[in-house]
């Protein structure tokens, strides 16, 4: 028990770390960035195929921006700054592509099934889909369903 207490609280410091606001920002960035692996793993295990949910890209973006700010304003180390200076570009691009793909889905007028973009016929009932006239539905991150007229 004493060794565990010593591991958590050592030399008057939590985990032996000299804490500051920037240390909290840096460790928060580490925690957010690391958590994306569990999100992606969970989504893949749930569907039994490799998937990358949008939450993965949001966590990547938030974590990398926290780590970049830590590197820029606290660490001021060129290697660390460069490591996170450009990673936000593919994260934002992937979020844009995810959103455009979700918005391009077509709702079948006959049975209300959501069909993949550019589908000619409904997956469920076989009814012809009219891309220009059918409303598309997108599911927001909160699970709400939002209609978008096409
Ligand atoms: Zn249908």
Tell me the CA–centroid distance for residue 123 and ligand 1, in Å: 7
Interval between CA 113 and ligand 1 midpoint (Å): 5
pTM across the whole model: 0.76
Ligand 1 centroid – CA 108 distance (Å): 5
With a cut of 50, say whether residue 136 has pLDDT above it.
no
Residue 1, pLDDT score: 66
Q: Rounded to an integer, what distance in angstroms lies between the CA atom of residue 33 and that of residue 44? A: 18
Quick: pLDDT tens for 58-112: 999 999 999 999 999 999 999 999 999 999 999 999 999 999 999 999 999 999 9
Given pLDDT bands bounded at 50, 70 and 90, which one contains residue 140?
Answer: very low
């Amino acid at each position: 028990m004493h060794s565990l207490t010593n591991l958590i609280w050592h030399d008057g410091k939590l985990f032996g770390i000299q804490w500051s606001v920037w240390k909290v920002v840096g460790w928060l960035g580490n925690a957010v960035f690391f958590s994306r692996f569990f999100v992606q793993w969970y989504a893949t295990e749930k569907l039994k195929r490799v998937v990358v949910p949008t939450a993965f890209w949001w966590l990547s973006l938030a974590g990398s921006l926290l780590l970049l700010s830590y590197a820029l304003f606290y660490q001021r180390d060129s290697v660390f700054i460069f490591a996170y200076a450009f990673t936000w570009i593919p994260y934002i691009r992937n979020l844009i592509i995810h959103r455009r793909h979700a918005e391009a889905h077509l709702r079948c007028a006959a049975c209300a099934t959501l069909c993949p973009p550019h589908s000619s016929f409904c997956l469920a009932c076989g009814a012809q889909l009219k891309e220009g006239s059918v409303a598309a539905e997108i599911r927001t991150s909160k699970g709400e369903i939002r209609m978008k007229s096409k």
